[in-house]
Chain A
């Protein structure tokens, strides 16, 4: 038996060691590779005060010089990304949104930020990038990523998160014949079995804010959570307000928003952030662009144009 134990331990430690180098190839690369780019980009302007010029397209150290590369998840969903009439461009899912149109809240916002930075529409390139991968540690293929990423401090440790371009809450969505459809308080919802996508703030809301008595059901994607709700496998799902609006109005007939979980329910106010590589030289410029768009009313106009929600009641504690 002693021999067996030694062999077992040996194999376990070997396997653990085998895991190591795999992680090391990706993990440490980000600071190492980000530093030289940053230094190179700052070098010419080092003597000058970092003024507006530092954010001009020619001095911005973008992934591809002269181009702003923006990432989002595929499929990209309305109302953040609207489809293209006559068919979406490759590689965007033909059923849903095409970010290259400039139509839809996040597509329009991304182009507004690009314009504010000094890029024309032709200088913007979109690439697809998975949601959870966007804010995982490591080097990025995009200059910024826009896909309803809610700010949270843990995410901000591994990637730069911009200032908010949209402020909204989590909501609970159920089928209209559900016993929870009429709930007005979180207490009533505690008996429900709720689902969410793994790694999202929606999932954290179920555990930390609603504190359901049943464990949350956790899915690979929001689409899977919706399927489970339609199948009556769970009572409802938690998603952010614009997504809930799209689900209840377009995707899932006979589904309803129970309410939003805001400050009344003790939830932290939330905002969507762009994701950039950790310590990206672009972050300050992007934040300045967002501030300018907020100051001149562009962001409010975009929200009113693309996210005109009927007032959803706030759930009480």
Chain B
């Protein structure tokens, strides 16, 4: 995926922005590739040697990469990650729906709908301003304290609500940017064909807008995945808390490293997917232009 295949045969090599890796030189540049590989190996070897041979390394190794703590902590930490997975999968679905509704509400025309636009704007301003840990604590400890009949006091539920409120605010802005990026002539053309305002939004504007904003949406998805660790403040033993419990019991930081690796393994494929989607979008755009 990094560095696409050989350039289109025959024709003049196009100015392919975003088609190639920014890390390696162009594939045609054989010498460049060799130099890049040699220099990478040399730099990494020197760095690796400098780190491993430094005076503090045995302590770092003992503190962060202790095999015994690793074996003992791995099953507990990975098992706890299931809580995070459930939380972000559920939250993501809710966020995608609520964010879209908010964005459409903010984009509604008409003087009479001013209060709707005002409310949607206020919502987005509010939840983008608040720190996640504050909203999670306020809802997760605060609402159950009211002891209202029929309102759940489950901490997982309130963490889900808090993350949905927070991230739908961000995501609605992403959607709105997408909607605003669609030229007004598109909506005007749809209206001239007899589509209603909502139909024009649904069948003409949104399909183009959503496709454009998939990469930034996935970006927010990554943010959401990481913020699932906030549920720990409510007492739920998720991946970070499970690691913290082991860390507090052993004073060894290996459980934290395990947690870090779990999040990285989850996020990096996602980041590569975003890169690929961006490149595909750019290819499509340039294909249309040509």
Contacts and interface: CB of A to CB of B under 8 A. Distances in A.
Interface of A: 1, 3-4, 7-8, 11-12, 15-17, 19-21, 23-25, 27-28, 132, 136-137, 154, 157-158, 195, 198-199, 203-204, 215-220, 224-225, 227-228, 230-234
A12 B261 contact: yes
Contacts of B23: 7
A225 B2 contact: no
24 contacts: A3-B2, A4-B1, A8-B265, A12-B261, A12-B264, A16-B260, A20-B64, A23-B60, A23-B253, A24-B59, A24-B60, A27-B59, A132-B248, A136-B251, A198-B244, A198-B248, A199-B245, A216-B237, A217-B155, A218-B241, A218-B245, A220-B233, A228-B234, A230-B145
What DSSP secondary structure best describes chain A's contact surface?
helix
Nearest to A200: B248
A227 B56 CA distance: 42
A228 B237 contact: no
B60 A233 contact: no
A233 B245 contact: no
B16 interface: no
Interface string B26-57: 00000000000000000000011001001111
Interface of B: 1-3, 23, 47-48, 51, 54-57, 59-60, 63-65, 141, 144-145, 147, 153-155, 232-237, 241, 244-245, 248-251, 253, 257, 260-261, 264-265, 268-269, 272
A137 B257 contact: no
A60 to B, nearest CB: 27
Contacts of A7: 2, 23, 272
Contact of A11 (B232, B244, B264): B264
A199 B263 CA distance: 23
A150 to B, nearest CB: 13
Contact of B272 (A4, A16, A23, A220): A4
A232 B253 contact: no
B278 to A, nearest CB: 16
Nearest to B47: A17
Given A17-B47, A25-B56, 19 more contacts: A3-B3, A4-B272, A7-B272, A8-B265, A11-B264, A12-B261, A19-B64, A24-B60, A27-B59, A28-B56, A157-B251, A158-B251, A217-B237, A218-B237, A228-B234, A232-B144, A232-B147, A232-B153, A233-B155
A4 B2 contact: yes
B260 A19 contact: yes
A217 B234 CA distance: 8
Contacts of A20: 51, 57, 60, 64
B272 A27 contact: no
A300 B145 CA distance: 40
Contacts of A4: 1-2, 269, 272
Contact of A228 (B155, B232, B244, B264): B155
Nearest to A19: B64
Complex A-B, nearest 10 residue pairs according to Cβ-Cβ distance, in ascending order: A199-B248, A24-B56, A217-B235, A231-B144, A20-B60, A24-B60, A227-B141, A28-B59, A8-B268, A219-B235
Contacts of A25: 56
A15 B260 contact: yes
A231 B264 contact: no
Contact of A231 (B145, B233, B241): B145
A234 B235 contact: yes
A183 to B, nearest CB: 21
B257 A16 contact: yes
Between B23, B57, B249, the greatest number of chain A beta carbons within 10 A of the residue's beta carbon is seen for B249
Contacts of B65: 16
Given A132-B248, A157-B251, A27 B241 contact: no
A203 B237 CA distance: 12
A217 B236 contact: yes
A228 B232 CA distance: 13
Contacts of B144: 231-233
A23 B247 CA distance: 14
Nearest to A193: B235
A23 B63 contact: yes
B279 to A, nearest CB: 14
Contacts of A198: 241, 244-245, 248
B59 A15 contact: no
A28 B23 CA distance: 36
A216 B236 CA distance: 9
Contacts of A23: 59-60, 63-64, 253
A198 B248 CA distance: 8
